[in-house]
Structure 1
Amino acid sequence: MIRRRAWPLLMKDDRAVVAPLVAVLGASLLAAAGLALDVGLYYTESRDLRNATEAAALAAAMNPAAGAQRARDYLARNGYDASVLKSVQVGRYCPDVRLPAGQRFDASFSLCPGNGRGNAVRIRTERPSRRFLSRLLGPANPIPDLGATATAARIDEAGVGITSGILTVTNSLVTSVNNLLGALLGIKLRLSTADVEALMNGNVDEGLFFDELARRVGETGTYGDLVGRTVPLRDLLAAAAEAAADPATAATLSTLSGVVGSGYTVPLAGLFGLGVQQNMPVGEADAKPALRAGLNAYQLLTFAVQAGPGAIDLSDAVSLLVGGSTVRIGAVATGPVDRPRFSFGPEGETSVGTSALRLQLFIGLGNISVLGSTLSVDSVPVLIDVAAATASIARIECDNTAEQASNTRVTVNAASGLVNAYIGTAPANAMTRPMPVITASSIKSARLVNVASLITVDARAVAQPVMGVSGSVLFGPGGQATVGSPSAPGTAATVGNGSQVGTLLTSLISSISASEGLQVRILGLCLPLVCDATAGAVRSQLLGAVVNPLAGLVGTTADPLLDNLLAALGIRLGHTTLWVTGARCGVPVLV
């Protein structure tokens, strides 16, 4: 029995007081510790699996066609069993700010089909989590299996530009540039040779240009919204000056911006093809991983001017051809702009083109001596049709060692346009803008001579069409030309040759020399045999008078006047000239 006086001491003794508590709560503490360990492991393993899944998705996006194997190999190298990979989907990534982020991966290829090739991969992984104490709970275990999903995309891009000829700067060309572009703008242009050279040899950074133009015109939507607008030419030139790499190019563009009237506006819709930039918000063109490409400053200027309201009028352009005959450019018409002049995007879905072109020429023969008499001959009307030249990016070859490597190669498929030529009277609307399609049957005989309705001479000829030349051009190491950049235009490649013009006009000469080409009629002044002989003599002399000037247009180049005036517009008959203005080998990114 405990003595009474020991009770107070016992009541104050707290030794081993926790033992009963531990005995009561030990199981609970052990369970909590085990659960904390399992939860900690779950979050750690979940993070590791998510990181591995994202890295595997990036590896798969390097080559979506082999995405499953690449993802499996990556996971295996990082200690995961192949069974972890549950699914691999190849699809298209739609860089469209208007779509919710979760819908930008398109496994059905219906939202943004593009070239129909996969550029993105979505993979899903799953594995059981490691469980210790929590597994004792059986179906009531609160810790789920591990799982992760990741989507990665890679887009290789290049920029391409097109004209119809490479220009050599001469004094006569500079004069033509000032006269023609000045007439279109309604101002007096005074560009020097150095100014024209600075434009032709200078590039504008397309991304910085679009962002600066958007700022000037107040566009806050997408780049597609921007190029759907009509903008003042002076704003376009000022934006180009801000984005020009070369100081001389920037200075010339800035000067032009200051002399162009504020009322001259340019619809941008036919100038640019934006590819994956189309639905990106403005202000992000120079952000990673955007394509960095250039725009040739001279081409940008001439195409923008031609897209505006100014009409091409060369009716006062006359030059001497052969033996007193002259050629006058009656009118120039262009077809609808159905392809952009500058385009940026992936292979298989990026194309450019020129407009179809129609030239109306009048060859003046003056007074012709025929059978001892002088006949006044009206101008011989010649119509030349040049179909649109086209080009498309067929292949972008990357070595995957750098985002925009110097050894990137780009293959472009190109074709110069079909060329037709006619002598005769064209339909009244033949030179309207945009020009309608005409056929050989719509060309009627043109009356060249009418002497009191007693002697008449009519002419009609249709040349055999000259097919356009097509081929592939390789830009980059080992190719015919080099890939440019925002700071350097690179070198161009040309498809086509001057003999096309010669072949065409030679065919036209053959056509007018045929029996139905030049028809002479002498009415009621002589006996039939005499009339026939006289008509034959008249025809023979007139034919020579017509053929000689036509022959003067045949050769590796057309008449110098025609060459220079068309060159000012970036046009050379029978040619298409191409630039690859930049290329980017895509770096896979998580999307």
Structure 2
Amino acid sequence: MGAAAVGIDLGMVVQAKRKAQGAVDIAAMLAAAGGGGADALARRSLADNGYAAATVTVSPGSYAGNARIAPASRFQAGASPANAVRVGLRTGVPVHFAQVLGLPRTVPIQVTGTAASAQFAAISIGSGVAALDGGIANALLGAMLGTKLSLSVLDYNALLSMHVDAFRFLDALATNLNLQAADYTDLVAANASVGQLTAALKVAAQGTSGAGAAVTALTKLMGALPNAGALIPVAQVVDLGDAAALSPARGAAGPLVGLMDVISDIAANANGQNQIALDLGATVPGLLNTRLTLAIGERRQDSGYVQPGTPNATVHTAQVRMLLETTLTAPLGLGTVTLPIYLEAAQASATLRGVACPWTASTRRQATVDAQPGLATLAVANVPRSSIAVGAGTPDLSRFANLIALPLLTVQGTARTTIASPAPQTLTFSDDEITRQVTKTVSTTGLTQSLTGSLVQGLSLSINGLIVPPLLGPLLSTALMAVTPALDMVLDTTLRILGLRLGYADVTVDGTMCNQAVLVQ
């Protein structure tokens, strides 16, 4: 009978300790999320849970979530930067039956809970802000969206320079979809049409200062869309990242997203894995005719709010394969020259390595990102258009391309150049740079001249015929070099619309979220 009675008392002690542990865990999380008022927040929470008379200690400090550090050493009380709180509680549990055996009336219990600020940042990798050729941009985006666009250079500049809050975009989309979702996790699980997504972008832009020109451009874009357009998973356009696990409530502040980036993502998803063919005709200065064939593999992505070290903390540019076919006037009255340029661009990448949001000095906010340009191959070769497809094998780049084909004369050529992918470089963004949306760039070493110029200079020619004009080779090389600025412009504009630059990784920190907290060891 005595043993049973003591067992009841022990059960009460275990239950009381479990309750106290839950109370200090809650207090620690509230204190860690609250920042500078940690002591008051923790004590108020414990009092609300019935521990006003208990002995409480609240110790702000620094927590390092590093697996190489022993768990017992990860929290340092009083250390800087302050990003965590340890709460301790001592109290007693009254017992009844155990007193008969001479045990104390009250059994002391002591519990601690440690919580750290869960610091998130949103990063994006793209092509940087630059003016686009309106004709090429209209042709490419129009082909992906299945329509004909007539936006001006000013329209594209406005879209390139404007950013909106991603969550305001989702709020507007919820209205368009007639969804009553309580949080953004439910919203990104939905599908939306191209028209609904574009209309939501316009609403989000209307609530942003200085967005008049961008709103006008979006209105033009909406007017050109074919009906509603294809259905697209919202998660392919806006990624919540690690913050999805927090089920962010409607009305929360989200990371910034670039209008042009989102439009490009919408267009790429609407196109799917279809081959894109553009006939630019004679619209490119210096060229008699220009044709583009391209395929997009993996698409560009933003991170959403992510924590360093998680799988979501790495973002990539698009993966692109392209064939640029141009014709120009041949020297010596030999008709025309056909120049096919093949391009295959692997993904550039950026990985969030660290976020610091000290409570004691908000202006010391900082984010570090490792960035790496992608590998790229350019070639002059006889490449069939059918090889420009997602999943197709790499074409044979050693096959000579026919540059000039006349009854008594043929000129063939081949060239190849590779842009290496260097080791990742670390970029550090200050509080001011994050606020101003500063873009930082990592580049491949040795990019000192035009890429197509380098390709043309390395061109190996094979000239055959009954009559070979003297100096044909040098004159042909001179003619090709003269149009390399036009070729560079076509390639650069096309790639920038898709969110990448050859040999570069352009990275922006789109925002931070530091008002969350998690329990730590």
TM-score, length of structure 1 as denominator length: 0.63
2:402 pairs, out of 423, 426, 447, with 447
Q: Does 1:431 align with 2:388?
A: yes
Moved more, 336-345 or 498-507: 498-507
Partners of 1:497 and 1:125 in 2: how far apart? 56
Structure having the larger proportion of residues in strand? 2
Does the residue aligned with 2:198 lie in a helix, a strand or coil?
Answer: helix
**Pairing 1:1-400 to 2, within 5 Å after superposition:** 51-52=23-24, 54-56=26-28, 79=55, 129=93, 136-138=99-101, 146=109, 152=115, 154-168=117-131, 173-174=133-134, 176-191=136-151, 195-217=155-177, 220=181, 226-227=187-188, 229-244=190-205, 245-246=208-209, 248=212, 249-250=214-215, 252-253=217-218, 256-257=221-222, 259-265=224-230, 267-268=232-233, 269-279=235-245, 281=247, 284-287=249-252, 292-309=254-271, 312-318=276-282, 326=287, 328-337=289-298, 340-349=301-310, 350-369=313-332, 375-400=334-359
Shift of 1:409: 1.1
Partners of 2:347 and 2:289 in 1: how far apart? 24
Partners of 2:300 and 2:264 in 1: how far apart? 16
Q: Does 1:519 align with 2:462?
A: yes
Shift of 1:521: 3.4
Partners of 1:367 and 1:81 in 2: how far apart? 85
CA contact (8 A) 1:418 1:466 kept: yes
CA contact (8 A) 1:327 1:361 kept: no
| Aligned-partner residue type, residue 412 of structure 1 | V
- Cα 1:426–1:206 change in 2 (3 A) is same
Shift of 1:140: 9.6
Shift of 1:152: 4.3
CA contact (8 A) 2:293 2:385 kept: no
- Cα 1:552–1:278 change in 2 (3 A) is farther
| Aligned-partner residue type, residue 316 of structure 1 | L
CA contact (8 A) 2:327 2:337 kept: yes
- Cα 1:298–1:442 change in 2 (3 A) is closer
Partners of 1:202 and 1:196 in 2: how far apart? 10
Partners of 1:458 and 1:124 in 2: how far apart? 80
Partners of 1:397 and 1:409 in 2: how far apart? 5
Shift of 1:337: 1.8
CA contact (8 A) 2:239 2:303 kept: yes
| Structure 2 equivalent of residue 476 of structure 1 | 430
Does the residue aligned with 2:433 lie in a helix, a strand or coil?
Answer: coil
Q: Give CA-to-partner distance per residue, 1:453-480, whole Å, 9 cap, x none.
A: x64433222x231214552222224xxx
CA contact (8 A) 1:420 1:504 kept: no
CA contact (8 A) 1:363 1:549 kept: no
| Structure 2 equivalent of residue 4 of structure 1 | none
Gaps of 5+ in 2: 1-12, 36-53, 59-64, 72-82
| Structure 2 equivalent of residue 419 of structure 1 | 376
| Structure 2 equivalent of residue 32 of structure 1 | none
Shift of 1:426: 1.3
Shift of 1:45: 10
Q: Give CA-to-partner distance per residue, 1:518-552, whole Å, 9 cap, x none.
A: 22334xx7xxxxxxxx6xx55x6342244224423
| Structure 2 equivalent of residue 544 of structure 1 | 474
CA contact (8 A) 1:334 1:435 kept: no
Q: Give CA-to-partner distance per residue, 1:485-535, whole Å, 9 cap, x none.
A: xxxx622223338973836445433542xxxx322334xx7xxxxxxxx6x
Gaps of 5+ in 1: 1-40, 64-77, 83-89, 93-106, 108-118, 526-533
| Aligned-partner residue type, residue 155 of structure 1 | A
Does the residue aligned with 2:502 lie in a helix, a strand or coil?
Answer: coil
Does the residue aligned with 1:337 lie in a helix, a strand or coil?
Answer: coil
Shift of 1:583: 1.0
Partners of 1:396 and 1:328 in 2: how far apart? 50
Shift of 1:146: 4.3
Partners of 1:214 and 1:466 in 2: how far apart? 43
Shift of 1:157: 0.7
Does the residue aligned with 2:471 lie in a helix, a strand or coil?
Answer: helix
Moved more, 262-271 or 135-144: 135-144
Shift of 1:333: 1.7
Does the residue aligned with 2:251 lie in a helix, a strand or coil?
Answer: coil
2:411 pairs, out of 442, 457, 461, with 457
- Matched pairs, number: 461
Q: Give CA-to-partner distance per residue, 1:335-355, whole Å, 9 cap, x none.
A: 322662453311233122221
| Structure 1 equivalent of residue 6 of structure 2 | none
| Structure 2 equivalent of residue 409 of structure 1 | 366
% same residue: 24
